[in-house]
Amino acid sequence: MTNDFPEGFRLLPGYFDKQAQEALLGEVRSVVRAAPLFTPVMPRTGKPFSVRMSNCGPLGWVSDVKGYRYQPHHPETGEAWPEMPAVLKALWADVARDAPPPEACLINYYEGKARMGLHQDRDEDTFDAPVVSVSLGDTAVFRLGGTARKAPTRSFRLSSGDVLVLGGASRLAYHGVDRLIPGSSTLLSGAGRINLTLRRVTSLESGT
């Protein structure tokens, strides 16, 4: 499958088996208890996202009327983000072994008709490290394009336990989630999907 995709793209189906998914879900629930899900809004317009989110790690990604950014604390509680689970650090070490450690894990919770429009992950100070994504719960119809917004796109399914890596030439590829396939997983108690996105935010030259 990866032969038709840009250099640096990798899809690792079933990286986490059912038992590992359940364990990781438990870790995510612990994070969310400490850093509750919140609904971000679009810059300037204040239009709410269709997903709710949280973060763990030293930094967390947020969006509000002031813009997109990373910050060390939850936007509603003011508390520092919880520590990133060891299993996610181990995943990064396995699939991004030449990159410095991840600094942020964005937790997106999709339910119902939630989706994510085509976008680039470019709020980081460095694009040298890949973006590593983990899917838990219902299957998502994922769309991947090129580095230009109007480049052709292709869609494929991301199932519970799959890991996606966007590195190299695919690091700044436009991507998004068109829809969920309800009932495609029994991992969550109800319908829905959790996506975990690991990112390196700062460059080593910045002193962090």
**pTM of the complete model:** 0.94
**pLDDT at residue 204 in the model:** 77
Confidence bin at 5 (pLDDT 50/70/90): confident
Q: Which residue has the tokens 């695919």?
A: 170
Confidence bin at 83 (pLDDT 50/70/90): very high
Domains along the sequence of the chain with CATH = 2-200 (2.60.120.590)
Residue 207, pLDDT > 70, answer no
Distance from the Cα of residue 129 to its chain's centroid: 14
Cβ contacts of 34-42, under 8 Å, gap ≥ 24: 34/79, 34/82, 35/60, 35/74, 35/77, 35/79, 35/81, 35/82, 36/74, 36/76, 36/77, 37/107, 37/109, 38/74, 38/75, 38/76, 40/64, 41/65
Do strands 163-166 and 9-12 pair parallel, antiparallel, or not at all (unpaired)?
antiparallel
Tens digit of pLDDT for each residue in 29-79? 999 999 999 999 999 899 999 999 999 999 999 999 999 999 999 999 999
Of residues 81 and 206, the one with the higher pLDDT is 81
**pLDDT at residue 208 in the model:** 46
**pLDDT at residue 1 in the model:** 45
- Phi/psi at 128 (5° precision): -70, -35
Nearest residue to 7 (alpha-carbon basis) of 146, 196, 105? 146
Tens digit of pLDDT for each residue in 189-198? 888 999 999 9
